[in-house]
Structure formats: C-alpha cells, structure tokens
C-alpha cells in the first residue's frame, strides 16, 4: 500500500511506500525535502487496517419452507372463516349444537349455498394439502429456514389428520342405520 500526499512545496501529488510514512522524503518534482504525511484516513497504522468481519452471508434460501408456513397460516385463517360459517348454519337448525343425522343433509345443503363458506372450505383444503407438500419439500431441502417447514408441517399435518378423521367418522355415522 502506498501513501499519497501533496508536496508542501510544489503541491504535486507524491506517492511513496507506506514504510516511508512520517519520514522525510525528497519530492521527485521540486527536490524539496518534505515529510510523507498521508491525509487523514489514508495509510492508517497496520493494526487498524484489518478489515472488520464481513457480515455473514445470507443463508441459502429455502422458499419451499416459507411457502409451507404461508400455506399453514392461510389454512388457519380459512378454517376460522369456514368454522364460523358452519357454526352459524348449525345454530340455525340446532340451537343446542346437537345435529341429528337427518338434519346433516339440510346443513350440508345450506352450507353449499353459501359461496363464502364454500370458498373458505376450498381454500382450507388446498392450503392444507399445499402446506403439507411444501413443508415436506422444505424439510427435505436441508437448508435455509427449515423451522418454517417444521411449523408448516405440524399445522398442516394436524389439520389434514383432523379432516381425514372427521370424514371417516362422518362416513361411519352415515353407515350406521338409525
């Protein structure tokens, strides 16, 4: 590294090796003997020239994990919407919350006439399955923010299991002659 400074006699820019910093040197232009002093900030002492540690590079991205987590959040929101719509319909037919099996058909029919509720159910199903797939892909990728995939997998996995169980129970109940 070289030290650059202006000659105090002729003002021309002189460049010397930094070993000569602070020493008297002869100006190559005007032959005046000048002290090699770098302007402030240049040719700092070697110990402070050590570069500050570079900020750690951003970890490799794992967008599968992020999508998996996003899906699980969408799934929770749509589940809330769908559940509240369902609760409203159920309360209409059975204020005590107990639905007789023969009323189930009417409830289902009523629900299917509500576009908002049906959309919420569709979003819930899609995001649960999508969240499950993306979270598994995110975990398999073994890099980036895998904790997002773990949360997504837990939430979507639980929801998918609940939906599967409830549909199995539904079929079992319908199968039992009353």
Among 6, 7, 38, 133, binds Zn ion (CB under 5 A): 7
Name every residue whose Cβ is closer than 8 Å to that of residue 76 and which is 6 or more positions away in sequence.
Answer: 155
Nearer to Zn ion, 8 or 160 (CB): 8
What is d(CA 147, CA 139) in angstroms, rounded to the nearest whole number? Answer: 8
In the shown chain, the binding pattern of residues 12 to 31 toward Zn ion, with x for contact by CB under 5 A and - for none, equals: ---------------x-xx-
Q: Considering the rule CB under 5 A, would residue 170 count as an interface residue with Zn ion? A: no
Q: How far is the CB of 144 from Zn ion (least distance, A)?
A: 59
Nearer to Zn ion, 27 or 74 (CB): 27
In the shown chain, the binding pattern of residues 28 to 67 toward Zn ion, with x for contact by CB under 5 A and - for none, equals: -xx-x-----------------------------------
Q: How far is the CB of 31 from Zn ion (least distance, A)?
A: 7
Q: Give the single-character DSSP code of 32.
A: -
What is d(CA 148, CA 139) in angstroms, rounded to the nearest whole number? Answer: 9
**Among 25, 14, 18, 23, CA closest to 43:** 18
Alpha helices in 34-145 (DSSP H): 63-93, 101-112, 115-140
Q: Considering the rule CB under 5 A, would residue 10 count as an interface residue with Zn ion? A: yes
Q: How far is CA 11 from the centre of its chain?
A: 56
Interaction site with Zn ion (CB under 5 A)? 7, 9-10, 27, 29-30, 32
């Amino acid at each position: 590294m070289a030290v650059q400074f202006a000659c105090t006699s002729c003002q021309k820019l002189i460049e010397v090796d930094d070993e000569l910093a602070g020493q008297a040197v002869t100006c190559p232009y005007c032959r005046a003997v000048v002290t090699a002093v770098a302007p402030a900030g240049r040719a700092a002492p070697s110990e402070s020239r050590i570069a500050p540690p570079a900020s750690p590079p951003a970890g490799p991205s794992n967008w599968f994990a992020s999508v998996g987590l996003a899906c699980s959040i969408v799934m929770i929101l749509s589940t809330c919407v769908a559940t509240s719509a369902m609760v409203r319909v159920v309360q209409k037919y059975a204020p005590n919350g107990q639905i007789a099996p023969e009323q189930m058909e009417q409830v289902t029919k009523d629900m299917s006439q509500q576009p908002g509720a049906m959309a919420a159910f569709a979003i819930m199903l899609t995001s649960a399955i999508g969240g499950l797939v993306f979270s598994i892909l995110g975990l398999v990728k073994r890099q980036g923010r895998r904790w997002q995939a773990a949360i997504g997998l837990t939430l979507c996995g639980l929801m998918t299991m609940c939906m599967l169980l409830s549909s199995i129970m539904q079929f079992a109940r319908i199968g039992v002659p009353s």
